[in-house]
Copies of this chain bind each other. A is one copy, B any other.
Amino acid sequence: MMKQVLIGILCGGGVLTIGILIGHYGIAKSSNPAPSWVNDVTKDVDESLIQRFMSEVDNMQIQENLRELTRVPHMATTPGDEQTVQLMLKRWQDPETGLDEAWREEYMVYLSFPDAKNPNKVTVVSPSDTVLYTVREKEKPYHPDQEDPEVVQPYAAYGPAGHTKGKLVYANQGKPSDYQHLNETMDLRGTIAITRYGGAGRAAKAINAAPYGVIGVLVYTDPLDINDGLMSDINETYPHSWYLPPSGVERGSFNTHFGDMLTPYLAAKEETYRIPTEDITGIPPIPIQPIGFEDAYILICELDGAAAPSQWQGGFNCTYNYGGPGFKHTSAFNNSDVKLDIFNFEEVKNSSNVMGIIRGSVEPDRYVIYGNHRDSWVHGAIDPSSGTSVMLELTRVLGKMVKQGTWRPRRSIIFGSWGAEEFGLIGSAEYTEQYFTMLSERTVAYINVDIAVFANATLRASGMPSVQDVIFTATKQVDAPGLDSTSVYDNWIRFANRTSPAHGVIPSVGYLSGAGSDYAAFVHYLGITSMDISYTYDRTKTNARIYPAYHTAYDTFNYASTFIDPGFVSHQAVARTAGNVLVRLADSLLLPINCSDYAESLEDYLNTAVNLYQTQLQARKISMEPLKQAVTRFRNVAGHLDHMIRTSDLANETPLKVRRINDQLMLLDRAFLNPLAFPEKYAYRHVIWASSSAGKATFPGLADAYARAETSGLDSDWNKVHYHLSVLSQAIDGAASTLVDVI
């Protein structure tokens, strides 16, 4: 019996097992098994992968990147530039740590150079044409880097060649108001104006001068503006500190618009139509030359005439006079002219972008773009190679994960190493012109890291308000360099903060309303959500306009590693922050783009506009109601969308619903584009972030139109104010229409 029972139990167990097997494998479930792609399409960002990425970002690798990038000067289209092209390609094509693919894209672009055989000359000449004084032609060497024959002579790119002389006057910053003021004290016709950097764009210093009959312009960096007043290279300036030596000269592009000047809105290919050079606008109409403050000191302190106003005074230990015009009677330069012999020439040259990609696994047709320019004026250790060093470290770590098969982003990542930025953001602008439609339809965001480290005090970020949140998330996860157990976020908030109605006290994120780096074409021409990230100053410690070696022959590896970021820990923090943001944008199931934060900025701008303009507009029967209604609607639908996101279980929703919401977020900024709103501003189409000269923290087109109308009082100018109000209302209401329930 026991045996029978045992057999029964064994048999029963066997039958049960067979039954279980049949039931499990033999009978199809009423629901089909999930297709293999279901897991992929619902996968979210992997926090442990972000931690791994950040831990692998190596400051010493960044240092070695910088050393290699800055061996020789690499001005756009020079042999040094080609060396950096090859370096980028080698790194991005590396089989162990490279990207999926990398290549170069070439454009034939209009550049401007000094003539090495006929260096530009600035002299003081007596009435009998005797040369009494010659301005230094090249910066004084303190390190072998400055003696490299490839160091380009300081010059004003796009300033015309020409030979001109006249009595010297001091015109402060060369703003319209400066020349207007000066013109009230003397006849400016036939004079040469010396101006200091700041206050007006480079080209503007000459453009503003010409209508008054000024025939040449000098520009220098005043020690007060860059060196906190220090001037001596015996013990104060580089190589003793980060301050600019007396002979240092800021080079630069003296133009107003960005992109290749001969091919507006067209990619500058070999056969592309080029406008006649005489149709170029926004460049100096008269010769202009930048000089060092050691020479400016000699010239300015000898000037005759009345003392200039106190705001015009700089760091020299003399009174800045207007000029007689010309020099004091007591000066050795009495009755002498300043003479400019400028030999600049323009040339169409072949400039390369280097492009690299990591293909997305789930949404390859969605792009996160990360870029920086590659070209410099001289060695460009800080500008731009600090950013390039960071980009190379970031691609090394990510590339390795891709090559090892441990990671592939959900969306595609495009890296751009732009050419000829220094001449006017040319490489990035041509890229956006060539691929306009593709990029505007598919790009989730653009991350720009140009100068990665200006100084080592705190993070600085600018961008659309919608990316504030993802920058905060990232910075909370990165250790602040040189500080124990403080995050980049916690350090940042001490240096720059504001009170947000929604979030309380948070770090201040700036806006990208200018064209300071390669984000310009992405923001203003394409309307792509963008950001610019760097480490920067403690403003309580310096008033320098920018890091002092900017665009000079002193911006070298030695300078960067000694004075800007010894140990490269700030570089590392920027790489971790930018990479963290990049991976979140590429991998998150739901895009980390927040439309309610955008609403907050629009409300800010609206309040300012109402405070500044409403009374006057009401008197003219121009209503601000449509603008108010549009902002209110935007706020409401943004809140509605956010609520829908918060209350949805996106990982279990149809992937087309997630895609739909992501498309709403991705395309939000496109709704603010209007290609006709700013006919006089090349490629500015974003009606919220366009540049403005009115200096008000509000909608740029409205602010500029209002300022113009207030000045002129013309009905036609008040009409323009009304026009810009309508453009804005329609754009913001149109943006709201893209955020509301899709149908």
Contact = CB atoms under 8 A, between A and B. Distances in A.
Interface of A: 4, 8, 11-12, 15-27, 29, 31-35, 37-38, 40-41, 263, 265-267, 269, 271-273, 275-276, 357, 359-360, 362-365, 367, 412, 414, 433-438, 441-442, 623, 625-626, 652-656, 659-660, 663-664, 667, 670-671, 673-676, 719, 722-723, 725-727, 729-730, 733-735, 737-738, 742-743
Given A21-B23, A626-B269, A438 B738 contact: yes
A34 B37 contact: no
Contacts of A670: 437, 441
A29 B25 CA distance: 8
B38 A34 contact: yes
Contacts of A360: 743
A479 to B, nearest CB: 34
A667 B726 contact: no
29 contacts: A15-B15, A16-B22, A18-B19, A19-B20, A19-B21, A21-B23, A22-B23, A23-B23, A29-B33, A31-B33, A32-B34, A32-B38, A33-B34, A34-B34, A34-B35, A41-B654, A263-B726, A271-B626, A273-B723, A273-B726, A275-B719, A363-B660, A364-B660, A365-B663, A435-B737, A438-B671, A441-B667, A441-B738, A656-B659
A734 B273 contact: no
Q: How many copies does the complex hold?
A: 2
Contacts of A653: 37
Contacts of A729: 272
Contact of A625 (B271, B273, B674, B738): B271
B29 A20 contact: no
Given A654-B40, A676-B675, A730-B434, A626 B24 contact: no
Given A16-B19, A24-B24, A365-B742, 13 more contacts: A11-B12, A23-B23, A32-B34, A34-B34, A271-B625, A271-B626, A357-B743, A363-B656, A364-B660, A365-B743, A437-B673, A441-B667, A659-B659
Q: Which 4 A-B pairs have the closest CB atoms?
A: A19-B19, A23-B23, A20-B23, A23-B24
Contacts of A663: 365, 441
A476 B651 CA distance: 43
A115 to B, nearest CB: 28
A12 B8 CA distance: 9
Contacts of A442: 742
B41 A38 contact: no
Contacts of A723: 273
Given A21-B23, A23-B22, A365-B743, A667 B412 contact: no
A676 B265 contact: yes
A655 B41 CA distance: 9
Given A12-B12, A33-B34, A675-B676, A437 B735 contact: yes
A29 B22 CA distance: 13
A626 B743 CA distance: 42
Contacts of A359: 743
A433 B719 CA distance: 20
Nearest to A720: B273
A262 to B, nearest CB: 11
Contacts of A675: 675-676
A12 to B, nearest CB: 5
B27 A20 contact: yes
Contacts of A730: 266-267, 272, 433-434
Contact of A437 (B40, B362, B734): B734
Contact of A16 (B18, B674, B727, B735): B18
Contacts of A24: 23-24, 27, 29
Contacts of A273: 719, 722-723, 725-726
A543 B4 CA distance: 102
Contacts of A275: 719
Nearest to A413: B743
A92 to B, nearest CB: 15
A40 to B, nearest CB: 7
Contacts of A12: 11-12, 15
A651 to B, nearest CB: 10
A667 B437 contact: yes
A35 B38 contact: yes
A12 B16 CA distance: 8
Q: Which of A11, A20, A659 is packed against the most chain B CB atoms within 10 Å?
A: A20
Contacts of A667: 437, 441
A24 B21 CA distance: 8
Contact of A266 (B15, B727, B738): B727
A272 B364 contact: no
A348 B438 CA distance: 40
Given A667-B441, A737-B437, A742-B364, A29 B27 contact: no
Given A15-B19, A18-B19, A437 B31 contact: no
Contacts of A40: 654
